[in-house]
Amino acid sequence: MYRYDEFDHRLLSQRIGQFRDQVARRLSGQLDEDAFRPLRLRNGVYLQLNAYMLRVNIPYGLLSSRQLRRLADIAERYDRGYGHFSTRQNIQFNWPRLVDIPDMLAELAEVEMHAMQSSGNCIRNITADHLAGIAADEVADPRPYCEIIRQWSTLHPEFSFLPRKFKIAVSGAARDRAAVHVHDIGIRIRRNEAGEIGFHILVGGGLGRTPVIGKTLREFLPEADLLSYLEAVLRVYNRYGRRDNKYKARIKILVNDLGIGAFAALVEEEWQRLRHSALRLGPADIERMKAHFPRPDYLPPVNDTSEYEALRRDDPAFDRWAENAVFSHRQPGYGIVMVSLKRSGRPTGDMRADEMRALARLAEEYGFGEIRVTHRQNLVLPDVPLHRLPSLWRELTALDLAMPNHGLLSDIIACPGMDYCALATARSIPVAQAIAERFDDLDYLHDIGDLSLNISGCINSCAHHNVANIGILGVDKRGQEVYQITLGGSSGDDAAIGKRIGPALPAEDVPAAIEGIVEAFLAEREGDERFIDTYRRVGDQPFKERVYA
Amino acid sequence: MPEIVAINGAKPGTDWLFAEDDEVVAPDRPAVFSLSRWLEAGGRGDAGLLRGVRLDPADDPALLTGRLDGVAMVALHFPDLNEGRPYSQARFLRAELGFGGEIRARGAVLADQLLFMARCGFDVFELAPGVDRQVALSALSAFDIAYQPALAAGNGDTLYNRLRAGRGA
């Protein structure tokens, strides 16, 4: 993984010194909240309903066991013993005291982690495919490019006060697992006929109250031009993006207002001025960054897999887990293990400090000390030898981390909702839990198959409900929390925005409505069809009939 | 009189008149005009007169191309601290138009933005009321390094080193 050099450490340490001084000025009253707000946001500090919240970046979803242990220490020392993994490869601590945050940041810096630009109207954490470097369908590892973008965007003097937040995601695989279609800029790494690396650049995707699928800005951007091109896009956005209305300030609105052709022409004009500037990447730049992400020292496959095979035959629980939670690795003899943070009775994405330490140990014993964070709020053990899966499964089971619900209905994404968030207009965690309780029969979940269900507690759509197969949006209607249901959304290569099926429902009716939708699906399904395919074939009428019968 | 901080050897005058568009200005009075008034007047000052131009965030600095003769300062306005366009305007004036005169920040100019402004090419700061001069000066030295390549970065080195080249301005 990327290792900080002296320069990275020095910059981060100066940043923490700067924020420590700003916090002191805030606490002494020299800075009022209006002046302090943009400063704290750019250091990851939100003011929630009950307390401050600190959002820490996990760049491109990559964590070392040492870093995960440090997160556990911080959760215990400064918070209530747990952390919450978000949908953009961040971890959030919900109960820190403002006066402690500079110390928390200093402890994070020791393990090369930071919260710079994890909020505020600036370029946010750069996210990537959580299977980067290990996926069988990879064109090129996105992480070196992500780190190049991370450094360029960190404390960029010109782009630190953008019209609105700006999110960039990078995918290097044939299949998109980074939701590049719903980012301000989505980047897909491609190889042309000559075998050269380049980037397919999407722009103007996003969720929130105006969900939009990103549009192609450039089919194939040469590798050397990555930063100059991003700089050109950001400059056009900084200059022309709307600043009079925060709900119309994202780049998607600018792209829609101008049209993609006119927007692309502005970018092109700017880029031609910049293309041969100091931002041009040379082969040595890329090689140097790639060297930070070497392939681990994989061992030759172990031929004796008798225990694994016997257990799959004899233990249905292991068989189901191996089928659902283990993915094929590009290295023969290894598997990729999904670790579900969607446990019954627990808020989605939450993890206690003792669980973090236990998983850090497993990452070392069963891999190379690495953990990945997915944008569906789960974790990954990336490099597990196949013959060791049985014993890993036993350990994960003992920790309640072997729930085989990856990609199934109970693998719910939920935002913190009104229980924590000052913006929320409705609760999401209790609704997610009520649905998960209703669908706790694993056989039934596996029969239903691939289905994404996301719950947002307000129109800001942090849980990406509008690109879920089943989306639930909590809104406030004359003082009552009610829930709108959308169907047909998708965040992958076939990205689509879900469509509302009818009037909002009170919280207590939501689980029954979901049950009705699933029953309608099973009645209409042909063969092994996925929910989304059935929906696309039959439309929303059969679902409406069940929900509003 | 606002508190003024200058860097990089800039020597700001303090008796500039920020003239309204209908305000009569004595010929020998150092005066700063709006972009529209400056362009209407032909976009060049008379030799020997001190002249400045002020831009609002929505103004296009490219309109000053070829019209900076006799301009000693360009003032860029921050209506509030979240305004981000003047950073791009300053960079354009320095990098694209090669403007070597004073670039002055006015309006919501708080201590903690100064370093970003400086790295985009501003060299004079009219501090907002209540901003302490010492706090502003120390905020300017919070960092001595930056990831973005300097405007005048040399060729031949790797980007990795250029991204570590220094202050960027």
Question: What ranges do the domains of chain B cover?
Answer: 4-143
DSSP B150: P
* Chain B partners within 8 Å of A162 (Cβ): 84
Note whether residue A103 is domain-resident: yes
Note whether residue A1 is domain-resident: no
pLDDT in tens, A131-166: 999 998 999 999 999 999 999 999 999 999 999 999
Q: How many domains does chain A have?
A: 4
pLDDT in tens, A353-375: 999 999 999 999 999 999 999 99
Residue tagged 């074939």 (tokens): A537
Grouping H, G, I as helix, E, B as strand and the rest as coil, residue B160 is helix
Note whether residue A447 is domain-resident: yes
Report the alpha-carbon distance of residue A103 to residue A39 in Å, rounded: 17
Q: pLDDT-based confidence at A475, cuts 50/70/90?
A: very high
Beta strands B31-34; A168-171: pairing state:
unpaired
Note whether residue A125 is domain-resident: no
- The answer, for A273 touching chain B at a CB cutoff of 8 Å, is yes
Note whether residue A127 is domain-resident: no
Looking at the fold, whether A150 and A269 belong to one and the same domain comes out as yes
Q: Do B87 and A273 touch (CB under 8 A)?
A: no
Average pLDDT of span A254-276: 96
Residue tagged 């996105």 (tokens): A142
For position A302, what pLDDT does the model report?
85
Question: Of A398, A428, A448, which closes a domain?
Answer: A398
Q: Where are the alpha helices (DSSP H) in A241-282?
A: 251-258, 260-274
- CA-nearest of A395, A308, A387 to A358 is A395
Note whether residue A126 is domain-resident: no
Tell me the torsion sign for CA atoms A319, A325, A330, A331. Answer: negative
- The answer, for B28 touching chain A at a CB cutoff of 8 Å, is no
For position A193, what pLDDT does the model report?
96
For position B169, what pLDDT does the model report?
36
* Chain B partners within 8 Å of A288 (Cβ): 158, 160
Note whether residue A15 is domain-resident: yes
Looking at the fold, whether A79 and A175 belong to one and the same domain comes out as no
Looking at the fold, whether A147 and A250 belong to one and the same domain comes out as yes
Dihedral, A518, A523, A526, A528 alpha carbons, nearest 10: 40
Closest chain B residue to A21, measured at CA: B139
- The answer, for B149 touching chain A at a CB cutoff of 8 Å, is yes
For an interface test with B, which of A37, A161, A280 has the most B Cβ atoms less than 10 Å from its Cβ?
A: A161
Looking at the fold, whether A81 and A154 belong to one and the same domain comes out as no
Looking at the fold, whether A204 and A348 belong to one and the same domain comes out as no
**AA identity, residue A9:** H
**AA identity, residue B5:** V
* Chain B partners within 8 Å of A158 (Cβ): 84, 87-88, 91, 116, 120
Share above pLDDT 70 across residues of chain A, in percent, rounded to a whole number: 100
Q: Are A270 and A220 in contact (CB under 8 A)?
A: no
- The answer, for A42 touching chain B at a CB cutoff of 8 Å, is no
- The answer, for B7 touching chain A at a CB cutoff of 8 Å, is no
* End-to-end CA separation in angstroms for chain B: 28
Classify burial at A114, counting beta carbons within 10 Å of its beta carbon; exposed 0-12, middle 13-18, buried 19 or more: buried
The Cβ of residue A388 has, within 10 Å, a number of other Cβ atoms equal to 17
The Cβ of residue A523 has, within 10 Å, a number of other Cβ atoms equal to 11
Report the alpha-carbon distance of residue B57 to residue B37 in Å, rounded: 16
Grouping H, G, I as helix, E, B as strand and the rest as coil, residue A110 is helix
| A443 CA: distance to closest CA in chain B (Å) | 52
| Average pLDDT taken over every residue of chain B | 88
In the CATH hierarchy, which fold is given to the domain comprising B4-143? TIM Barrel (3.20.20)
The Cβ of residue A7 has, within 10 Å, a number of other Cβ atoms equal to 16
CA dist A125 → A133, A177, A236, A452 (Å): 19, 16, 21, 24
Looking at the fold, whether A151 and A282 belong to one and the same domain comes out as yes
Q: pLDDT-based confidence at B168, cuts 50/70/90?
A: very low
Least confidently predicted of A105-109, A194-198, A381-385, B150-154 = B150-154
Beta strands A379-385; A334-339: pairing state:
antiparallel
* Chain B partners within 8 Å of A161 (Cβ): 81-84, 87, 113, 116
pLDDT in tens, B9-25: 999 987 899 999 999 99
Average pLDDT of span A53-62: 97
Q: Do B158 and A282 touch (CB under 8 A)?
A: yes
Domain of residue A392, residue span? 306-398
DSSP B87: H
Average pLDDT of span A452-481: 94
- pLDDT at B152 > cutoff 70: no
- CA-nearest of A172, A198, A272, A276 to A264 is A272
Looking at the fold, whether A170 and A238 belong to one and the same domain comes out as yes
DSSP A539: -
Report the alpha-carbon distance of residue A490 to residue A531 in Å, rounded: 11
Looking at the fold, whether A175 and A241 belong to one and the same domain comes out as yes
- CA-nearest of A422, A493, A481, A494 to A455 is A481
CB burial of B122-146 (b: ≥16 within 10 Å; e: otherwise) equals bbbbbbbeebeeebbeebbebbeeb
For position B159, what pLDDT does the model report?
58
* Chain A partners within 8 Å of B149 (Cβ): 277-279
* Chain A partners within 8 Å of B145 (Cβ): 7, 10-11, 14
Q: Do A14 and B81 touch (CB under 8 A)?
A: no
Looking at the fold, whether A394 and A419 belong to one and the same domain comes out as no
Q: Do A35 and B120 touch (CB under 8 A)?
A: no
Average pLDDT of span B108-112: 96
Looking at the fold, whether A151 and A283 belong to one and the same domain comes out as yes
Looking at the fold, whether A394 and A444 belong to one and the same domain comes out as no
| A480 CA: distance to closest CA in chain B (Å) | 34
CATH of the domain at A199: 3.30.413.10
Looking at the fold, whether A78 and A204 belong to one and the same domain comes out as no
For position A445, what pLDDT does the model report?
94
- pLDDT at A205 > cutoff 50: yes
B2 phi, psi to nearest 5 deg: -70, 150
Closest chain A residue to B109, measured at CA: A35
* Chain B partners within 8 Å of A30 (Cβ): 132, 135
